[in-house]
Amino acid sequence: MKDAISYAAPTPKVLYIHDDLSDYVSRQQGRASAAWQLTRQLFALVCRDRRRVVLLTLESQMASLLAHSNYAPFAMAIGIGRAGERVAQQLHARTGWFPKVSRVNLTREEDGHGGYNVVTTTGIPLAQELPLLDTASPLAVVDDTVFSGLTMRTLLLALPVEVRVRTQAFCLRGVAESLVGIAALCSIAIGFAAPGHLLDEVSFINASGLVMRIGIRHAQQPPQAFFERPMWMHAWFPGYADEVIGLCQRLNAILEPDGRPAQFP
């Protein structure tokens, strides 16, 4: 496995953790399960330093986005990966904006040299993954997070110019400075935008990535959970990272008992 030194992370002034884990554990294991109890313990632990670690909920992000947005239904919505598709479906259930959602299986993976590539998880070139697009109708592009903006920019730049000028992007959360590059390509609506410089001032993670092997992707190597990258854990949770890692390991043993990545929705 690639030496993680190339991917060292500073301790951010504020770490935002999106809770996409509680609902998953509740549905998969039940609220009387050991997994549910461990999940509650994990959130209590990671949020020990409430001045620096902030827990985000789906409801708060959705409410904020909807409070500032109003659109007629789009002829087509492209969801970026499973997460983007899921957000599009969640928004559609409340608004009716996205009657037709097409998923593009796009993700960011480590290149082994300290950088990242945006690749399709199917091996099919992005241009071939894109659905047939109507150049006369508005298009929506939906993702869950804009962190560096690399993934969404890659998709937007793959669109024909005549389509991109009619495109509206949506995202539940992101780093404000990264949104500037997206807004230069098309309008974007977001639920929560965090101020501050990427990584050293502000960072985002999904709780699912802490305990399941979906958080870190490598070129031609198995994915990892964040707890398997101790340098990051110690940067994010200085002084109590070992406790967090221990809880993540216990929860992972339940959620991924055979050691292989689970099918996270």
DSSP alpha helices (H): ranges in the chain? Answer: 22-29, 34-46, 58-67, 81-95, 126-129, 150-158, 161-164, 176-183, 207-211, 230-236, 241-255
pLDDT band at 112 (very low <50, low <70, confident <90, very high): confident
- Domains of the chain, first to last: 4-57+197-255 (no CATH), 60-194 (3.40.50.2020)
pLDDT average, residue stretch 127-136: 90
Angstrom distance (rounded) from CA 186 to CA 175: 16
Mean residue pLDDT of the chain comes to 94
What is the mean pLDDT of the segment spanning 154-179? 96
pLDDT, tens digit, for every residue of 27-82? Answer: 999 999 999 999 999 999 999 999 999 999 999 999 999 998 899 999 999 999 99
E strand or H helix that includes residue 2: none
Per-residue pLDDT band for 86 (boundaries 50, 70, 90) equals very high
Strongest mean pLDDT among 116-130, 145-159, 214-228: 145-159
Q: What is the pLDDT of residues 6-28, one digit of tens each?
A: 777 899 999 999 999 999 999 99
> Helices 34-46 and 22-29: crossing angle, nearest 10°?
170
